[in-house]
A and B are shown apart, each in its own frame.
Chain A
């Protein structure tokens, strides 16, 4: 599949479809970046401090804004989270639950790193 002249590689395994999203160097350490996969905006987070990668929808459910990748990440207790830049609602990067007391939920996706590339399962 082609997008903007770039090829997006998909690898199918028995249960999941892993899509190559970007290279690890394209996402800042302890920060996020947004990738476009099949017309869908996905936020990828390089949580260097925890040695983890996370992926969520880029859309903030509060006012439906495509911005979560630009949010600050951090932790609440042990729970990794991202804060929307607009109104600072926070969402768990693991469960997708809104942690600031609202009933919102965001989609999260499995991520894996292979050969310096980031793969997301959608």
Chain B
């Protein structure tokens, strides 16, 4: 399709998801064609991921959502004009002109102008506090308004409406209402029974849902105060989001005489050409066969087709599969294939569990051979497999109900399903990646991580829905090649940490040897011993040096101190929140002097005493404990410190008493064992002097309460903690912390900090937040109870150790000469103190 000259001039109108994808594909395909691409975008920023817009409220920034940075356009020679919409097309001259007056010629013009929110003509829609939800700017305005709003509503109970409702929940509104005109939610995707279950489930998560409601007026004097309905009822709200459908942006096309549909949309043929063969339309503005596709995957497919055709390929757009799977406020909803076909045209199998909020329906051909489509609410785990079964016309098993119920009683073979698919099965529909391509990368190019596969195949980078399947394929392929893939603990335990955690818990095993006898083999090692010891400690919080378990502890835990160069130990008494009396400071000084210890203030606002002989540890602690100190657990995979700033007690900016909160939280979680160490911080205002966002959990005072951040990290790979709750009370904050920490303790791999744990988590921060704040897994109560058990079981380990003669005896370097200290220990002077002798290198 080139024009004879050397350079192909392409102008793209709209820099949204599809417009961007088109540029990316065109550049990739144009191997021997020289391109001159100009892009005009109306929005002030380069294309971003609109599908994940709601994550903005859950802590993502505009940068996180960006599809490609500005450099990318520059590096690929694309002239990008932002904040400059196209206002006119001169089809004769083949030029476009922009709002700022630029005139650019094209050989081919691609319209990717997307759509706008459809706003029904309800009186009062222009009032303050009424929003649409489509762009980052919309989000910014909603966020600003939500600060002074208490009750919010959304008009529209479809996919986008429920996304908007989630955004209102995330913004922390006290009440969120969903108003739907139809008798059911998501009328395009699910049936009445599915909607009933979804409604009940969403209501239990805090939404108030009103069906069959026709909004007649938006009341208020300049700013919204209430909504009046056709049935005479009224709802007081101070914020409203309208999400009643989309309206294709066809105004420029219309103006230049291109054919548009009667209800909007730029008419295109199978090549996605408009009525002018030099102009294409793709994405949400294109009307193909009377259909507007309001999802990103078909838009990407359109981008691919036009890019291919411009590079002399030949591809046509066919009616697109509108199967979708979404997580709405933590509830899975999926519909695939022909979801609504019903008897007598097919046989329908339905599974419904009202108490768990699960509804599943599959439609099967009358000859029992093929799966035609279905609906899943509450649990969509089988979605990918079911969709593949429909799309690849796989012959159904004898008992098709097993597809939604899972094989009962038999061997489970979750991974085997995907491996049985044909090589050309489309796994990622957003990026058109097949099973064959993924397996090839895994097998031939040894790509063994989902992230790696995302990079080289782009699978899973669109809506992300196929990621679990990509992972299964990766694991399946690796298994076929004999590569061991489960994250098992070590050669002695064929379990992951989480599996072992559950087994130990259910079987109530309390010693390392007991666990090894029952679930392990061989004699254990330095990997599984501390891992199991940590599980035991997290489960029962018994004295960690209880007989038999002491030897399973790493040296630091075994001697309740941190081993340092030269074989001496450091001693760290707990100083909760960094608050300490002069009397206690003097005791630390006296002890340090007496036992000749080097002292240093740590990063966690406490004092570390270095250079203690093993033999001296019990006497040192005896003196510290007598003065009221407790173990600081600096040696354990446990809570270190909760750092605080001085807050409202002294600081002129302080909003609340951050020290008191830090002391309370540190005392609450002290001694609790976890997969790795964890730290906290509490700041008295946004100035953040306690650096709480660099901690595993961070609490920052706000005007109305506290903001809670989780999964931050200093250390080698710094990472900011992410916001999961806004303006909450102290009680709620502690409640969420209980759940968060216990969930981490139960599910993280050994030696995984919270940040890494989060980075590996499917669904990321949005999922974690759903679990912790919205209780999407229904385990909040269990987590809180388990945490309470651990807290109640707390005892200072050092107090127990010095009071127990047989434990105390272990603190000698020579068993045959307990009073002799290790003669190999040596120090050298350093400033006014000393340091460990450098070791050989």
Contacts and interface: CB of A to CB of B under 8 A. Distances in A.
Contact of A35 (B522, B526, B815): B815
Nearest to B516: A49
A80 B841 CA distance: 27
B523 interface: yes
A22 B816 contact: yes
Interface in A72-117: 72-77, 80-81, 83, 85-86, 88, 90
A67 B555 contact: yes
B523 A28 contact: no
A8 B839 CA distance: 32
Contacts of A76: 491, 525
Interface residues of B, number: 39
Q: Is the interface of A mostly helix, strand, loop or mixed?
A: strand
Given A47-B523, A63-B839, A70 B814 contact: no
B817 A65 contact: no
Given A36-B814, A36-B816, A72 B491 contact: no
Interface in A16-49: 21-22, 26-31, 33-37, 41, 44, 47, 49
A28 B814 contact: no
Contacts of A4: 817, 819-820
Given A26-B815, A64-B839, A75-B522, 15 more contacts: A28-B810, A31-B551, A35-B817, A36-B814, A49-B513, A49-B523, A63-B839, A64-B840, A66-B822, A70-B555, A74-B525, A74-B526, A75-B523, A85-B556, A90-B525
B551 A72 contact: yes
A27 B552 CA distance: 14
Contacts of B526: 71-72, 74, 83, 88, 90
Interface in B346-401: none
Interface string B516-540: 1000001111101110000000000
B567 A26 contact: no
A54 B548 CA distance: 19
Interface in B806-820: 810, 813-817, 819-820
B818 to A, nearest CB: 9
Contacts of B134: none
A80 B523 CA distance: 8
Contacts of B815: 22, 26-27, 33-35, 44
A67 B556 CA distance: 12
B563 interface: yes
Contacts of B566: 65
B550 A28 contact: yes
B285 to A, nearest CB: 60
A63 B813 contact: no
Contact of A6 (B525, B530, B555, B816): B816
Contact of B567 (A8, A37, A66): A66
Contacts of A67: 555, 563, 567
A41 to B, nearest CB: 7
B558 interface: yes
30 contacts: A8-B816, A22-B815, A26-B816, A27-B815, A28-B810, A29-B551, A31-B550, A36-B814, A36-B820, A44-B815, A47-B523, A63-B565, A65-B566, A65-B567, A66-B567, A66-B822, A67-B563, A70-B558, A70-B563, A71-B526, A72-B529, A72-B552, A74-B526, A74-B528, A75-B522, A76-B525, A83-B525, A85-B555, A90-B525, A90-B526
A57 to B, nearest CB: 12
Contacts of B822: 41, 66
B555 A71 contact: yes
A76 B524 CA distance: 8
A67 B625 CA distance: 27
Nearest to B820: A4
A34 B567 CA distance: 13
A82 B555 CA distance: 12
Q: 10 tightest A-B contacts by CB?
A: A74-B525, A85-B555, A31-B551, A83-B526, A75-B523, A33-B815, A63-B839, A26-B815, A4-B817, A72-B526
A28 B530 CA distance: 17
Interface in B101-151: none
B551 A34 contact: no
Contacts of B840: 63-64
Contacts of B548: 29-30
B804 interface: no
A58 B525 CA distance: 19
Nearest to A85: B555
A100 to B, nearest CB: 10
Nearest to A89: B526
A36 B841 CA distance: 26
> A29, A36, A44, A71: which has the most chain B beta carbons within 10 Å?
A36
A75 B529 CA distance: 11
Contact of B525 (A21, A28, A72): A72
Contacts of A80: 523
A77 B555 CA distance: 23
Nearest to B809: A26
Contact of A66 (B550, B824, B841): B824
A75 B839 CA distance: 28
B554 interface: yes
Contacts of B824: 41, 66
Contacts of B280: none
Nearest to A30: B551
B559 interface: yes
A83 B822 CA distance: 20
A86 B825 CA distance: 15
Nearest to A82: B526
Contacts of A22: 815-816
Contacts of A77: 491, 522
A75 B525 contact: yes
Interface string B722-758: 0000000000000000000000000000000000000
A74 B523 contact: yes
B524 A35 contact: no
A37 B817 CA distance: 10
Highest count of chain A CB atoms <10 Å: which of B516, B529, B555, B841:
B555
Given A63-B839, A66-B567, A30 B513 contact: yes
A28 B824 CA distance: 23
Contacts of A86: 563
Contacts of B516: 49
A72 B563 CA distance: 14
Contacts of A70: 555, 558-559, 563
A63 B816 CA distance: 25
Nearest to B614: A70
Contacts of A30: 513, 548, 551
Given A22-B815, A74-B529, A85 B554 contact: yes
A8 B625 CA distance: 37
Contact of B524 (A33, A66, A75): A75
A72 B814 contact: no
Contacts of B556: 85
B345 to A, nearest CB: 62
Contacts of A3: 817
A77 to B, nearest CB: 8
Contacts of B552: 72
